[in-house]
Amino acid sequence: MQERYEPSVLEPQAQAYWDGNGSFAVAEDPSRPKYYCLCMFPYPSGRLHMGHVRNYTIGDVITRYMRMQGYNVLQPMGWDAFGLPAENAAMANGVPPAKWTYDNIAYMKRQLQSLGFGIDWSREVATCRPDYYRWNQWLFLRMLEKGIAYRKTGTVNWDPVDQTVLANEQVIDGRGWRTGALVEKREIPMYYLGITKYADDLLGALNDLPGWPERVRLMQENWIGRSEGLEIEFDVEGGGTLGIYTTRPDTLLGVTYMAVAAEHPLAQRAAQGNPDLQQFIAECQRNGVTEAALETMEKRGMPLGIHAIHPISGERIPVWVANFVLMGYGTGAVMAVPAHDQRDYEFARRYGLRIHQVVQPADGSLARIDEEAYLEHGTLINSGQFDGLDFDEAFDAFAKLFEAQGRGKRRVNFRLRDWGISRQRYWGCPIPLIHCSECGVQPVPDDQLPVVLPEELVPDGSGNPLGKNAKFLECQCPKCGQPARRETDTMDTFVDSSWYYFRYASANNDRAMVDARAQYWMPVDQYIGGIEHAILHLLYSRFWTRVMRDLGLTQVEEPFANLLTQGMVLNEIYFRKPAEGRIVYYNPADVDVVLDDKGAPVGAVLRADGQPVETAGIGTMSKSKNNGVDPQSLVETYGADTARLFMMFAAPPEQSLEWSDEGVEGAFRFMKRLWRAVHQHVQAGPLEAVLDKTALSPVQRDIRRQVHEALRKITHDIGTRRTFNTAIAAVMELMNALAKFDDRSAQGRAVLQEALEIVVLGLSPVVPHACHALWHELGHAGAVIDERWPQVDADALMRDAIEVVVQVNGKLRGRVTVPASADEATVREAALADAGVLRYVDGKPIRKFVYVRGKLANVVV
RNA sequence: GCCGGGAUGGCGGAACUGGUAGACGCACCGGACUCAAAAUCCGGCGAGCUAAUCACUCGUGAGGGUUCGAUUCCCUCUCCCGGCACCA
């Protein structure tokens, strides 16, 4: 056996073995339990980053572990290949997005292979290939037929200089990222998918997802945002009505003003001939479109000089236009109750509007509405005949009254909005529609799918190049046959990622979107990806799956049975801020940390010039902060196993992970120790005896107990808890114990052989290359990848005596050793005889004796 | 602003169901080996108090509460991270 641990030699050998044997190419096999282990596919940005390495290592550990548990495991991989960065790269380098994307895919695929992930590459998909996105188009047309897809206007960011639509991230402080021009809001026609039709289903089914983290289910629940309220029509003085929706009808008598969106017809009408209003409305056009921008901006408004009539009191209620009311949400108008809504309260304070309390705490205490709005449900006051009602009674009373008058009705409302999928961009899936001057918008017939995106175009930042490409644009109307114009909008890339996991399971079928193979594999048993996808991607996928179910394409309703949301990968951020010019960021690899004599960091210097740099703490690895670590150099220096081991050891998967070069060194040291331990054992020659459990010395029995305790722990930690860090810690602890176990007797060596076999099997999902080699060295002809996960020997776990810690009044005062079978009375007797305990009991009467079996006793005096 | 999460030694983290706070690793310190260094191995390592590795006291972001017992449950607050619908 090679004495040195040489990953650069043994890793390619192990990978060649898996490739040569097709270890990870799987076929549908109804006779075996299936396990579909899926990682979120990467955007092919150019190189893998550490977040990918972390994500795919988690998936690979689970894949290999489940394989060893006897499952038929599918772990596929593909590419989320459409999107904005390819267009940005094209603009910067003049390279077509297609070429850039395909080159990146080729490079990143090699990187994935060098990390030893057990992927079935025969099922690879890339969403930018026509054989994939044709099914986006096909399903879109089915949704159009069923009325799930429909056309309406939507709001976009418009760069008036480049004459182009900007993504939210391309708007910086209200200006276009390339032109610096003030961005305008613009209403354009778009296609929407009716996800709100499924809102109740998507919400209710969250309860059927016990394998999802509670926090993700909560976020989705809040995102869908079901509310029950009342829709009420207010009459408008001088004719017409103003419709609003409220979840607080109990506060109706507290309405002191109404607010409408800038685009609301009432505001538009009032603005005619009123330059001040016109200017205010124009200013509202320049607000951002994101919810965060709307919520954090200064709340402003102007009175329209129009009044609504309160449907109960008959009072005249002034109508305002306000920048925080959006035309796209609900009716574009709200009733304002400053006494019982904080935003209305602040607005009323600012503009001197009346604050009228109509709810008081149910316990009769006083609400200080002179300080802030009172938001709780309570008892109605100042509401005439409705005084004294509670929230539910008031809700009912108002609902009945308005329903009888035909002025309003109960309505369930969702915060969730329909999904706008139109993008005015080139590098995406074409929306399969044709515009005919005679026949209007016509769907592309199925037999003409896919509408293929030309791959040679290079965007220049001024609008969608498809709009200037005659070859793409020109077509015939499928209805009348006359020349017509092809739709140039493409689909949101979330469409691509909403169903790719179905396609892996129906790979290469050019006749159908999905086939019977998907029936075998779906649903995904374990889905792994970043927490940043907790809402949008996961919700869209759940929606898309339901649409497929309703079209009879699948029987699955929930695509992902179990979800693991991994944390971010972080690193130090170092920078200098010159007196003039921009901040310069330095990569942590080029910075030395200065320590004090206790080893605590006190500063940092740039290695190149020895001068200090400032630290901005710790943050997500990113290009802009120059704090990324290249996985490639890591693999070249230490090998894939060390990279994988560090990633799994440094933090539990759901938490953020801080990069540490020293931590990587530590992982590498452990690999060398593991290698050496097996080497020493093998060098001592062949075993002289098989393990005889009945013939072991107390020390040998003790080691064996530790081995099987560690096995029990890592089985639980990998298989159930998914805390790979603690599993690895348990193996490290065991290795420390084995290092001290120097027993060359026949049984001693048999115990060590069993221990090392369990270590190698148990670590093989995490560091598969080294374990592949070590398994052979331990005398096995077969490959470790095909071995079964070892079984815990219950006999080995038996103990004769146990230690119980003893507290007096909750403070640790002693420890007693008792037989493992000892009952409470025995423990109590032993505890009260302990010298440390006696000192604190000190003859005082014992009020209580708490005993936690096998662990702890507490004497209360 | 809203929704979700987090905070434990010098650092990353452990404590799984309310029961020994600090497993494991890193850094640091001491020792062995070496001409020397690196590598490797052995030992120490929360703070205070102490002659002391005894004992004791304090200690899990801050403040309060529940409990025989709280890192864990409840309330209030601070800071950090993720999402907020056209980044993926």
Q: How far is the CA of A861 from the C1' of B52 (A)?
A: 32
Measured N-to-C along each axis, helices A661-683 and A640-649 cross at an angle, to the nearest 10 degrees, of: 120
Average of pLDDT values for A24-43?
Answer: 97
Residue A3 burial (C-beta neighbours within 10 Å; 0-12, 13-18, 19+): exposed
Query: A591: closest CA among A577, A612, A570?
Result: A612
**Residue A190 reports pLDDT greater than 90:** yes
Q: Can you give the pLDDT at residue A555?
A: 96
Nucleotides of B under 7 A from a protein CB: 1-6, 10-16, 19-21, 23-29, 39-42, 55-57, 68-70, 81-88
Q: Can you give the pLDDT at residue A654?
A: 92
Which nucleotide is at minimal CA–C1' distance from A157?
A: B86
Average of pLDDT values for A343-347?
Answer: 90
Q: Can you give the pLDDT at residue A599?
A: 58
Q: Can you give the pLDDT at residue A287?
A: 80
- For residue A635, what are the contacts with CB-CB under 8 A and spacing of at least 6? A114, A115, A643
Q: How far is the CA of A797 from the C1' of B29 (A)?
A: 38
- The helix/strand/coil state of A337 is coil
Q: Report d(CA A345, CA A336) in Å as an integer.
A: 9
Q: Report d(CA A364, CA A379) in Å as an integer.
A: 9
Q: Which two tokens stand for residue A193?
A: 């998918």
Does residue A660 approach strand B to less than 7 Å at its CB? yes
- The helix/strand/coil state of A300 is coil
> What are A816-853's pLDDT values in tens digits?
888 888 888 888 888 888 888 888 887 788 888 999 88
The C-alpha torsion from A806 through A811 and A812 to A814, rounded to 10°, is -50
Which nucleotide is at minimal CA–C1' distance from A82?
A: B88
**One-letter amino acid identity for A190?**
M
> What are A192-211's pLDDT values in tens digits?
999 999 999 999 999 999 99
Q: Can you give the pLDDT at residue A622?
A: 78
Residue A750 Cα distances to A323, A653, A734, A787, A791, angstroms = 78, 36, 16, 20, 17
Average of pLDDT values for A485-508?
Answer: 97
- For residue A808, what are the contacts with CB-CB under 8 A and spacing of at least 6? A837, A840, A841, A858, A859, A860, A861
Does residue A292 approach strand B to less than 7 Å at its CB? yes
Q: Can you give the pLDDT at residue A325?
A: 87
**Residue A581 reports pLDDT greater than 80:** no
Average of pLDDT values for A604-622?
Answer: 80
Q: How far is the CA of A266 from the C1' of B38 (A)?
A: 81
**One-letter amino acid identity for A51?**
G
Which residue reads 């040195």 in tokens? Answer: A4
Q: Can you give the pLDDT at residue A187?
A: 87
- Residue A193 bridge partners (DSSP): A149, A419
Q: Can you give the pLDDT at residue A597?
A: 58
- Residue A571 bridge partners (DSSP): A619
pLDDT > 90 fraction of chain A, expressed in percent and rounded: 74
Q: Which residue has the higher pLDDT, A95 or A575?
A: A95
Q: Can you give the pLDDT at residue A550?
A: 97
DSSP A448-470: G---PPPSS----SSS-GGGG-H
> Of A491-505, A621-635, A781-795, where does mean pLDDT reach its minimum?
A621-635
Query: A227: closest CA among A247, A242, A241, A253?
Result: A247
Does residue A856 approach strand B to less than 7 Å at its CB? yes
Does residue A652 approach strand B to less than 7 Å at its CB? yes
**Residue A776 reports pLDDT greater than 90:** yes
**Residue A618 reports pLDDT greater than 80:** no
Q: How far is the CA of A322 from the C1' of B84 (A)?
A: 21
The C-alpha torsion from A430 through A435 and A440 to A445, rounded to 10°, is -60
Does residue A813 approach strand B to less than 7 Å at its CB? yes
Q: Can you give the pLDDT at residue A601?
A: 67
Query: A242: closest CA among A232, A228, A250?
Result: A232
pLDDT tier, A600 (very low <50, low <70, confident <90, very high otherwise):
low
Which residue reads 């530790």 in tokens? Answer: A706
> What are A291-310's pLDDT values in tens digits?
888 888 888 999 999 999 99
pLDDT tier, A35 (very low <50, low <70, confident <90, very high otherwise):
very high
Q: Can you give the pLDDT at residue A283?
A: 86
Q: Which residue has the higher pLDDT, A191 or A662?
A: A191
Q: Report d(CA A275, CA A283) in Å as an integer.
A: 12
Give the residue nearest to nucleotide B14 (CA to C1'): A726
Average of pLDDT values for A552-560?
Answer: 97
Q: How far is the CA of A494 from the C1' of B42 (A)?
A: 57
Give the residue nearest to nucleotide B15 (CA to C1'): A726
Q: Report d(CA A539, CA A543) in Å as an integer.
A: 6
Does residue A739 approach strand B to less than 7 Å at its CB? yes
**Residue A376 reports pLDDT greater than 90:** no
Q: Report d(CA A274, CA A304) in Å as an integer.
A: 9
Q: Can you give the pLDDT at residue A717?
A: 96
Does residue A723 approach strand B to less than 7 Å at its CB? yes
Q: Can you give the pLDDT at residue A326?
A: 81
Query: A379: closest CA among A367, A391, A397, A395?
Result: A391
> What are A167-178's pLDDT values in tens digits?
999 998 889 999
Contacts of A10-13 with C-beta under 8 Å, sequence gap 24+, read A10/A769, A10/A770, A10/A772, A10/A773, A11/A114, A11/A116, A11/A639, A11/A640, A11/A641, A11/A769, A13/A772, A13/A773
pLDDT tier, A290 (very low <50, low <70, confident <90, very high otherwise):
confident
- For residue A446, what are the contacts with CB-CB under 8 A and spacing of at least 6? A138, A141
Query: A488: closest CA among A540, A559, A427?
Result: A427
**Residue A525 reports pLDDT greater than 70:** yes
| A197 backbone dihedrals φ, ψ, rounded to 5° | -60, -25
> Of A204-213, A354-363, A585-594, where does mean pLDDT reach its minimum?
A585-594
> What are A420-435's pLDDT values in tens digits?
999 999 999 999 999 9
The strand B neighbours among A residues 203-232, by Cβ under 7 Å, are: 214-215, 218-219, 222-223
Does residue A663 approach strand B to less than 7 Å at its CB? yes
Give the residue nearest to nucleotide B87 (CA to C1'): A169
Contact (CB, 8 A) for A461 and A178: yes
Does residue A656 approach strand B to less than 7 Å at its CB? yes
Q: Can you give the pLDDT at residue A620?
A: 81
Alpha helices in A406-535 (DSSP H): 470-473, 493-496, 500-504, 516-521
Q: Can you give the pLDDT at residue A844?
A: 82
Q: Report d(CA A161, CA A361) in Å as an integer.
A: 55
